[in-house]
Amino acid sequence: MLAPGMRRSVSAALCISVVALGGCVFVQGRFVFHQELTRALAPAPLFVSRFLFDDDGQRALVLLRSHSNSDGRFTQVAGLCDLRSQPPTFQPFPLPLSGRISIALAKSGDGFLSMENGDLYWLARVAPGAVQPIYFGSHPEGRAGFLVCPDDGSMVVVAGVQMTAWDPRAAALLWRRSDHLAASCAFVPRSRRLIGSLETGEIVELDPRTGDRLRLIARHPTPIHWFAISPDGSRLAAVNDGGNCFLTDLESGETIWTRRFKHTTGPQFSSDGQSLLVPTLGADAGIAVVATASGEPVGKLEGGGCVVGLRVRTDGSAYAWNSEGTITAWNLATGKVVFRLDPSASPSFNLPVLPVRLLDTPLPESHALPRAAVAL
């Protein structure tokens, strides 16, 4: 116990310290850190890094990304966008923060997510009420490069240095390979045929049941990071880093035509397979539309800004998201813009900036199936 005199001294010292501390906080906050605080405390909206419409166009599986910090690290948030409400709403999934997330959406409406630590989630038929992704396994090396799934959503292939395939419904690992370093993969529409482009520049067909290499389709001098397969499964359009686009017959591997574009990202076929859409960047930014048969230009989709991602829906429309995060949809028959969404203008997208860090928090048990069931 303190003597009464000492107690008074301590009380007085505490009071004086509180006043001094408060004064310093006020003065520095007002005159030294005013700008930094205003900037740091203002909600910094995340921008759209991937936007996958479901097939009825009413909902979308969305991946938002923070701007990179000085270390090049960033945070991503996945969620569902309900486009039926005005303005569209965004509902993040109840998952731990993650530095890098990959998402895929099957035509069936089943969505898939892979987190920074390799944990994989299945979102059974994307719907407004289905915001509880189900854990079904972990990719052994952690972060995945990308995910692909067939139209029926019955399996998902996770690619990185290793490649794994999963049955999400049974939470079962189907196979695991470390002999394919894939740059990109895709399933042939309406089938479970798996096509992969390897870092060696080869485009190969893989057995979706085992991951075995079935045949070589084409060989390129540089890796193909983007390719698309026509809706009827007969053509493959590949684009290399130099902007060269190759149209190949999927069965024979014969190159039908090549065409050079300036700075492109992933091409997509129109829903009838008659046209190929190739986003072009730089001063000539837009989406070039070329005839699948000849490679000759037949049109251009404009007004989408600097497109970084492109998808085509079965109703014939195409939509793209640009480097600003704005989503634009066109009617391919008319070339007219039919829809535009600027998430930064929608309050529900303006999530505050999140701490940039790697995922290290354990997953809530309620989200997870027993890990023993999916042990590798």
Q: Alpha helices, DSSP H only, in the chain?
A: 4-31, 34-41
216 binds another protein (CB under 8 A): no
36 binds another protein (CB under 8 A): yes
69 or 234: whose CB is closer to another protein? 69
Interface with another protein in residues 52-81 (CB under 8 A)? 66, 69-71, 73
Tokens encoding 179: 């002999």
16 binds another protein (CB under 8 A): yes
Question: With CB under 8 A as the contact rule, which of the stretches 7-15, 232-240, 339-347, 364-372 interacts with another protein?
Answer: 7-15
Angle among Cα 251, 257, 263 to the nearest 5 degrees reads: 115
18 binds another protein (CB under 8 A): yes
Candidates 3, 4, 32, 190: give the one binding another protein (CB under 8 A). Answer: 32
Interface with another protein in residues 77-116 (CB under 8 A)? 97
Among residues 320, 368, 326, 297, which one has the least CA distance to residue 53?
320
Question: With CB under 8 A as the contact rule, which of the stretches 4-12, 241-249, 263-271, 339-347 interacts with another protein?
Answer: 4-12
36 or 241: whose CB is closer to another protein? 36
Cα separation, 44 vs 25, whole angstroms: 24
Residue showing tokens 């990071």: 225
- Shortest reach from residue 279's CB to another protein, in Å: 30
For residues 61-75, b (16+ Cβ closer than 10 Å) or e, as one string?
bbbbbbeeeeeeebb
Candidates 1, 3, 4, 21: give the one binding another protein (CB under 8 A). Answer: 21
Contact 19, 11 (CB under 8 A): no
**Cα radius of gyration (the chain):** 25
Candidates 172, 293, 353, 369: give the one binding another protein (CB under 8 A). Answer: 353
Other CB atoms closer than 10 Å to residue 185's CB: what's the count?
22
354 binds another protein (CB under 8 A): yes
9 or 132: whose CB is closer to another protein? 9
Candidates 40, 42, 345, 373: give the one binding another protein (CB under 8 A). Answer: 40
Among residues 225, 317, 339, 334, which one has the least CA distance to residue 270?
317
Q: Judge residue 167's burial from the number of C-beta atoms within 10 Å of its C-beta, 0-12 exposed, 13-18 middle, 19 or more buried.
A: middle
Q: Kindly list the distances between the CA atom of residue 142 and the CA atoms of 138, 139, 232, 348, in Å, as whole numbers in the listed order.
A: 7, 6, 35, 30
Cα separation, 342 vs 216, whole angstroms: 42
Among residues 252, 243, 229, 235, which one has the least CA distance to residue 293?
235
- Shortest reach from residue 18's CB to another protein, in Å: 6
Candidates 131, 285, 306, 356: give the one binding another protein (CB under 8 A). Answer: 356
Cα separation, 370 vs 356, whole angstroms: 29
Count, residues in the chain: 376
30 binds another protein (CB under 8 A): no
331 or 350: whose CB is closer to another protein? 350
Contacts with another protein by CB under 8 A: the residue count is 34
Element (H, E) at 115: none
Site string for another protein, 157-196 (x = CB under 8 A): ----------------------------------------
345 binds another protein (CB under 8 A): no
Interacting residues with another protein (CB under 8 A): 6, 9-10, 12-14, 16-18, 20-21, 24-25, 28-29, 32-33, 36-37, 39-40, 66, 69-71, 73, 97, 353-357, 360-361
